[in-house]
Amino acid sequence: MPLQIVRNDITKMKVDAIVNAANSSLLGGGGVDGCIHRAAGPELLDECRKLGGCRTGSAKITGGYRLPCKYVIHAVGPRWQDGKHGERELLVSCYRTSLELAKEYDCETVAFPLISSGIYGYPKDRALKAAVDTIGEFLLEHDMTVYIVIFDRSAYRISQKLFSDIEEYIDDHYVAAHTDHTDRRSEYSRLMSMPAENHLPGEENKVTEAVYAAPSAPRAAKTLDDALSQIDESFSEMLLRKIDERKMTDAQCYKKANIDRKLFSKIRSDRLYKPSKPTVIAFAIALELSLEETKEMLMKAGFALSRSNKFDIIIEYFIEHGNYNVFEINEALFAFDQSLIGG
């Protein structure tokens, strides 16, 4: 997955480059800067002294020394004042410059902390949004795996309003689905386990209802050849068809889905490829499929959207609200402790 949000100490990341949230002197400080200098050893400071500082919104690169990465990119984020002093532009520029430096040094994997969101006071949710938007945009044009490393969970918070809306949506759908489902199933078992003559007056109709509600058996094919000839369009075929219908290129689709190019090639070359459920959902979101189409695509891969599962309800919420931003959806999934989509 080209963009991943992980919880870790950035000094432990085994990537080509990690990004430091530095200050314009580049001579070290507290926060993540202090951690990186301590883990890299004094040679890092020696090299930093030769760089002559760095202006806010920009970045410079050094070796990684005792860190498990090859390079450290020192980015200088803005101090938060009130949001009206060009803070977002400067922060975006930090991410862009760092990504361009990483590209120039042929880095395939890069890890960022949430620049400016600690000592410099940038509100964490806005810092995260700026990071996700800027990195997401860069990844539409470049092949790289980028990690946003967050230290404390509270950094990864969707807005309170969105959180409450989704929570309410989950409550409505989760509870309703469970009650409905359980009642029907137990009613079905009760009625089917007793002889018809024991049914209470009027229950004949209930049996019919319950039988209709029960899963129906598929029509049996006469021979194996018959059965095989009934094979439907596969997941991979549906995906490629939808990409054509949407007049997208393959790259536009897999990048928007936050899916790795290699994984996409596998899917493309194997018509019976069996994807994971989050991968199918990532493509459904990238293709902006309706709820019906999403369900159809899931079914082709052997999955369904269930009302007994928070992950599924959150996905349904976003599709129903016409919000197909994979990064925002992942923020919401993360906030509700669900696995993320893509990859």
Provide the annotated active-site residues: 33
Residue among 4, 31, 45, 169 that touches ligand AR6 (CB under 6 A) = 31
Beta strands in 24-117 (DSSP E): 59-63, 71-76, 109-112
Q: Which of 31, 140, 58, 131 is nearest to 88 (CA)?
A: 131
297 touches ligand AR6 by CB under 6 A? no
77 touches ligand AR6 by CB under 6 A? yes
Residue 26: left (phi > 0), alpha (psi -120 to 50), or beta?
left
90 touches ligand AR6 by CB under 6 A? no
- Determine the straight-line distance between the first and last CA of the chain, rounded to whole angstroms: 4
Judged on CB neighbours under 10 Å (0-12, 13-18, 19+), 21 is buried
64 touches ligand AR6 by CB under 6 A? no
32 touches ligand AR6 by CB under 6 A? yes
Please identify, using beta-carbon distances, which residue of 118 and 278 lies nearer to ligand AR6.
118
Contacts with ligand AR6 by CB under 6 A: the residue count is 25
What's the CA gap between 252 and 266, in Å, rounded?
A: 17
What's the CA gap between 228 and 193, in Å, rounded?
A: 35
Angle between helices 291-300 and 277-286 (to 10 degrees): 140
Please identify, using beta-carbon distances, which residue of 129 and 181 lies nearer to ligand AR6.
129
User: What is the rounded (10 degree) CA torsion for 139, 142, 147, 148?
Assistant: -40
Please identify, using beta-carbon distances, which residue of 91 and 263 lies nearer to ligand AR6.
91
Residue among 5, 19, 21, 313 that touches ligand AR6 (CB under 6 A) = 21
Please identify, using beta-carbon distances, which residue of 128 and 341 lies nearer to ligand AR6.
128
- Supply 111's token pair: 């890890």
Residue among 9, 89, 143, 172 that touches ligand AR6 (CB under 6 A) = 9
33 touches ligand AR6 by CB under 6 A? yes
**Degrees (nearest 5) of the Cα angle 150, 50, 59?**
35
257 touches ligand AR6 by CB under 6 A? no
Sign for the CA dihedral angle at 126, 130, 135, 140 comes to positive
Please identify, using beta-carbon distances, which residue of 94 and 282 lies nearer to ligand AR6.
94
What's the CA gap between 19 and 335, in Å, rounded?
A: 25
> In whole angstroms, how close is the CB of 103 to ligand AR6 at the nearest point?
22
What's the CA gap between 75 and 18, in Å, rounded?
A: 10
- Supply 51's token pair: 């760089």
- Supply 343's token pair: 């990859």
Please identify, using beta-carbon distances, which residue of 32 and 102 lies nearer to ligand AR6.
32
| 28-36, 229-237, 284-292, 305-313 -> range binding ligand AR6 (CB under 6 A) | 28-36
Sites for ligand AR6 among residues 121-150 (CB under 6 A): 149
**Three-state DSSP state, 200:** coil
| 113-121, 134-142, 181-189, 208-216 -> range binding ligand AR6 (CB under 6 A) | 113-121
11 touches ligand AR6 by CB under 6 A? yes
Sites for ligand AR6 among residues 145-174 (CB under 6 A): 149, 151-152, 155
118 touches ligand AR6 by CB under 6 A? yes
Residue among 56, 116, 236, 294 that touches ligand AR6 (CB under 6 A) = 116
Q: Which residues bind ligand AR6 (CB under 6 A)?
A: 9-11, 21-23, 29-33, 35, 77, 113-120, 149, 151-152, 155
